[in-house]
Amino acid sequence: MTPVSRGACQTVAPRPTAGQHGLKSTHDAVAYSREVHLRAPRTSPNDERTHHARTINESDQGLRLACPAEMGEPLLKEALRASAITLTLTLGVASCGNVAVAEPPAMVAASKPVMPPTPIASPSDPAQTGYQPSAYKGRKFRKTQERLRRCIGQREGRFQYWGTGGDGRYQSTYQMTPALLRGAAWMMRPELIAEYGKQGAHVFRVLLRTPGHLWSRFYMDAAFYTVLNARGELSGLGHWKAGRYAC
């Protein structure tokens, strides 16, 4: 029986016992063991380190690394890339007894879909009265146009999102006609579906059948920017060209 050479990850081979290899006594067995050990080739510490440190076993439970401290960080990284298993192990382990074993990563739970803002708001909702920065920050939003939106919203409807004018002909703080609001809803539809999926399609249908003065702040701000920048920046400004004062 050939003993394993000594090193940083030493495995001691069992001594032969009486009856093995034709040995008649324990004394003969010990002598045989010493003779075999003397005949065994000597290896350098580097050879031993390479022999033991490169032992890698994969199993369904993860990747088991024998003597990770001896492998070195580059070899560890290569093994991890090859196995496609994420491991957390501490480099610098002193012996083979401290073998790092990683369990397979748990399945990442699918993220919940983003829910769209509520499309309808009550006139008594405090959020429907008074100036605030645009609740909409989507594709048609332009931060540089916020001052213009504030001027138009104040001039037309004093930021009373629940308001109407012209015997109900003009609705909400931007005083948009029902026809213009329907057009805005259709232009908003692709973005609503892209952002919110089926829920976005549902919101679109709700907006089509709801008067503008009941739209929540988010969708009315979205309608303003969608119309204002429908075919390029400020392309829809003509809808608000008239008023008590210029904006």
> In terms of Cα–Cα distance, which of 204, 189, 193, 218 is closest to 121?
218
pLDDT the model gives residue 24: 54
Q: What are the extents of the domains in the chain?
A: 1-11+22-102, 126-240
- What's the pLDDT tens digit per position in 139-166? 999 999 999 999 999 999 999 999 999 8
- What's the pLDDT tens digit per position in 199-247? 999 999 999 999 999 999 999 999 999 999 999 999 999 999 988 899 9
Residue 177, classed as helix, strand or coil, is coil
CB 65 within 8 A of CB 99: yes
Residues comprising the chain, all counted: 247
Task: Read off the pLDDT band of 76 (50, 70, 90).
Answer: low
pTM above 0.75, yes or no: no
Q: Evaluate if residue 16 carries a pLDDT over 60.
A: no
Looking at residue 212, its amino acid is G
Find how far residue 61's CA is from the centre of its chain: 25
CA distance 176 to 163: 11
The DSSP letter of residue 42 is P
